[in-house]
Amino acid sequence: MADIRTESVMVIGLGRFGSALALELTSRGTEVLGVDTNRKLVQNLSGRLPHVVVADSTDIEALRQLGIAEFRRAVVAIGTDIQASILTASLLSELEVPDIWAKAINRQHGRILSRVGAHHVVLPEHDMGERVAHLLSGRMLDYIEVDEDFAMVKTKPPRDIVSVPLGETGLRARYGVTVVAVKSQARGDTATFTYATSDTVLMYGDVILVVGTIRDVERFAEVD
């Protein structure tokens, strides 16, 4: 593995989440080493990932032999084997991998992963369920939670801020949110998002990106 660069990512666990992640990173030009104990999974990906091997990530010597010291980033994408997931994250931490990401199947699993050394924990099913729930329950077109209590939503402007310069709407004082970008419906199919300023005038049909606390953006998205 001497040709793998330090900017590369080791993805451990090549189930649905891990394989999708590895393939997407590869398509973006990132060097990826995929690792799984399942020989069939590895064989299926051997023609699609430039580097993919069968190995046991719960064996510290196996990780050393894979050249883990050459990687700054590793992702523990192991699915339902919680014990293997936790042990792998712990070994990566012991081997001083600088940036460890780990998939959790629930919040308790996520807390344990954090305690044993994972720097970032993701809950794909939970996060997607939460996102879809937000989209179904209001006028949001998209929803991204960027911190524990802060989010960005894509929505359309309510009538009380249409045809008025944003700086005169008192938007932040009234709703606690800020419009950061707008896609003008007047430009049709050629429209792209541009930064919003205090002089920006929104029109019906525009699409806006709004940031604020989760409570505030949810409340704003309900305004007609």
- Compute the CA torsion angle 157, 163, 168, 174 (nearest 10 deg): -30
Q: What pLDDT, on a 0 to 100 scale, did the predictor assign at position 109? A: 93
- Flag whether 134 is in a domain: no
Q: What pLDDT, on a 0 to 100 scale, did the predictor assign at position 204? A: 87
- Flag whether 159 is in a domain: yes
Q: What is the mean pLDDT of residues 197-221?
A: 91
- Flag whether 54 is in a domain: yes
Q: Higher model confidence: residue 128 or residue 217?
A: 217
Q: What pLDDT, on a 0 to 100 scale, did the predictor assign at position 28? A: 87
Judge if 180 and 106 occupy the same domain: no
Q: What is the mean pLDDT of residues 22-29?
A: 91
Judge if 46 and 94 occupy the same domain: yes
- Flag whether 103 is in a domain: yes
Cβ–Cβ < 8 Å for 35, 63: no
Cβ–Cβ < 8 Å for 182, 202: yes
Question: Percentage of the chain with pLDDT > 90?
Answer: 64
Judge if 76 and 178 occupy the same domain: no
The total of structural domains in the chain comes to 2
Domain termination residue (choose one: 90, 122, 154): 122
Separation of alpha carbons 203 and 106, rounded Å: 42
Judge if 101 and 146 occupy the same domain: no
CATH of the domain at 76: 3.40.50.720
Q: How confident is the model at residue 134 (pLDDT cuts 50, 70, 90)?
A: low
Judge if 94 and 169 occupy the same domain: no
Q: How confident is the model at residue 190 (pLDDT cuts 50, 70, 90)?
A: confident
Query: Tokens for 159?
Result: 């009538």
Q: What pLDDT, on a 0 to 100 scale, did the predictor assign at position 1? A: 41
Separation of alpha carbons 135 and 152, rounded Å: 12
Total-model pTM:
0.67
Judge if 89 and 148 occupy the same domain: no
Backbone dihedral angles phi then psi of residue 46, each to the nearest 5 degrees: -65, -30
C-alpha to C-alpha distances, 137 to 86, 87, 159, 175, nearest whole angstrom: 35, 39, 20, 19
- Flag whether 95 is in a domain: yes
Judge if 159 and 118 occupy the same domain: no
Q: What pLDDT, on a 0 to 100 scale, did the predictor assign at position 188? A: 66
**Statement: residue 4 has pLDDT above 60:** no
Q: What pLDDT, on a 0 to 100 scale, did the predictor assign at position 136? A: 66
Kindly list the strands in the beta sheet with 207-212, ordered across the sheet, starting from the edge strand earlier in the chain. Answer: 142-147, 150-155, 207-212, 178-183, 194-195
C-alpha to C-alpha distances, 52 to 13, 71, 116, 148, 183, nearest whole angstrom: 11, 15, 26, 35, 42
**Statement: residue 2 has pLDDT above 70:** no
Q: What pLDDT, on a 0 to 100 scale, did the predictor assign at position 5? A: 45
Domain termination residue (choose one: 57, 88, 122): 122
Judge if 92 and 22 occupy the same domain: yes
**Statement: residue 211 has pLDDT above 70:** yes
Judge if 176 and 88 occupy the same domain: no
Domain termination residue (choose one: 77, 92, 122): 122
Q: Higher model confidence: residue 125 or residue 80?
A: 80
Structural domain containing residue 27: 9-122
CATH of the domain at 189: 3.30.70.1450
Judge if 96 and 161 occupy the same domain: no
**Statement: residue 6 has pLDDT above 50:** no
- Flag whether 100 is in a domain: yes
- Flag whether 42 is in a domain: yes
- Flag whether 89 is in a domain: yes
Judge if 151 and 205 occupy the same domain: yes
- Condensed to tens digits (0 to 9), the pLDDT of residues 37-81 reads 999 999 999 989 989 999 999 999 999 999 998 899 999 999 889
